Structure 1
Amino acid sequence: MKLIGVDLGGTTFSVGLVSEDGKILKKITRDTLVDNGKDDVIRRIAEAILEVSDGEDTPYVGIGSPGSIDRENGVVRFSPNFPDWHNVPLTYEISRLTKKKAFLENDANAFVLGEKWFGAGKGRDHIVALTLGTGIGGGVITHGQLLTGKDGIGAELGHVVVEPNGPMCNCGTRGCLEAIASATAIRRFLREGYKKYRDSLVYKLAGSPEKADAKHLFDAARQGDRFALMIRDRVVDALARAVAGYIHIFNPEIVIIGGGISRAGSVLFDPLKEKVIDYIMPSFVGTYEIVASPLVEDAGILGAASIIKERTGG
């Protein structure tokens, strides 16, 4: 049996045919075209599923969706990426159009499931996975099970407050991890810093302050640029405070960091590992690993496909 994973985003969606051991055999990426309305989006997702699965044994579809979802009933309650989606019975509609049983999960939870089944968390029962992109999301596996909380909306790892008087987050709270360590936050810091640090290597690499992003920041930090290192250190401190909290609360075997920022490599991970030790109790030192996700490019599809393995018992 092969798996079908749907990575649903506000700009594009991807559908992949995935082998049992996590190899992507075929992939389609298309524009979501949210403005066309939910019926059109769902129809085109179903068409892509049928195209990818043509002639293959694929009785199941896993869907990773942003927003608040009812996983048991396969309903997208609401999503900031899809303004007209309110209580949309997504799995029912996909099953009706494709004649395949569909499963739905929040995309951040799908990310940690992908790591559990196909990534750095394979063979582990206690995992924290954090994805650093436009925003920050993540999920938690404890005793081999996905931790979702009473209402299925727990493990909002990006909204841990790490700077009480810090920048305003999109959620309405000040100082969330997402407001400091996401790609969006880094771009904002770089735009704000231009007036004072216009000679920074960051802006030379980017070409202009408007184009400066996380990649330029870490490239400049790698070369010892003072401004870049200052921003890098703020990002690292925020991440370390949050990760230390996760370690104290969940006692994971491994903390996996994915998303585009995870590609920064040692210039991010070396100081992060050192800083986490500053914030944890001595008894926790050496009980965990902090690693970059190996799934970066295809984490969305593999996470969605892993929902099937999770719901059908592997």
Structure 2
Amino acid sequence: MKIGKSKNLRVGEWVVAIGSPFQLRFSVTSGIVSAKGRSIPNGSDSTYVPFIQTDVAINPGNSGGPLFNLEGEVIGINSQIYTRSGGYMGVSFAIPIDYAMDVADQLKENGYVARGWLGVSIQEVTSELAEALGMEVPKGALISQIIADSPAENSGLKEEDVILFFDGEEIFYSADLPLTVGAIRPDSKVNAMVLRDGLKKTITVTVGELPKDPALAFNETQQNFLGLVVEDQINDGRRLYIEGVMVTSIDPEGLAYESGIRRGDIVYSLGRAKISNVNEFKEILSSLDQEKSTTIGISRNGNKRILSLNLSK
């Protein structure tokens, strides 16, 4: 099979999957590329995989099979689906072949996969922040904190910079930045376009290596004692299904993760108190008795759940 370039894929392009769903060998399904650079909020290492989203029918037995373009080139590896029923619902994901080949090369060379790292805490650019920063539309990743002696600090990035492009990739939302940085090999020099004091500026950044110690890696975000970071939901004119704050980062060794919370969850209550924004979350969190247990209400894929938080741990 000929290997193609997944970076050349365009949204709307037709693609074909071959696999053995339900042991039906050599089954062919087709569809289009719905989006690129998708992050799947499941709290796992796939946070750093820039998935290709398609509407190609993928079922058990398709995972690991090739995704082709109409030139017959492999441009992805079928991976997983988004579902509420357990079966295909029109949203499937594939690992870009460029990314998969790079991972294979790193495993051969080093025996492990090294991911890029900046050492910053970022947040979404809301409509209010965009107006305050002199931006016509809200986009990019706003740097709210920089770790001392990190790749970001050593390269000249500053707090309140808005990263608009990184290594040639446009950063529409803050979640786009970890995907882009994580896919870059450590020690690579890349250009970052930032908005600083109302002016666009290009900075050469030397990307570092994501620390193997989760505690250090998660210093990149403004964590609390629960081991998670939340942000206000983006209100782009579409109705929000539930009020609350979104979990954008979570320490896999922290209390929140241990309690069952995952990246992408919407936190709508804490200790019976309703939450609609980050400030309310912080205020309520700071008022909790850390010697007792409490409850936290989350919404995942549209389904509400009540979880227990043992704050005394």
User: Relative CO higher for 1 or 2, CA cutoff 8 Å, sep ≥ 6?
Assistant: 1
TM-score when normalising by structure 1: 0.27
TM-score when normalising by structure 2: 0.27
* Higher strand proportion (structure 1 or 2): 2
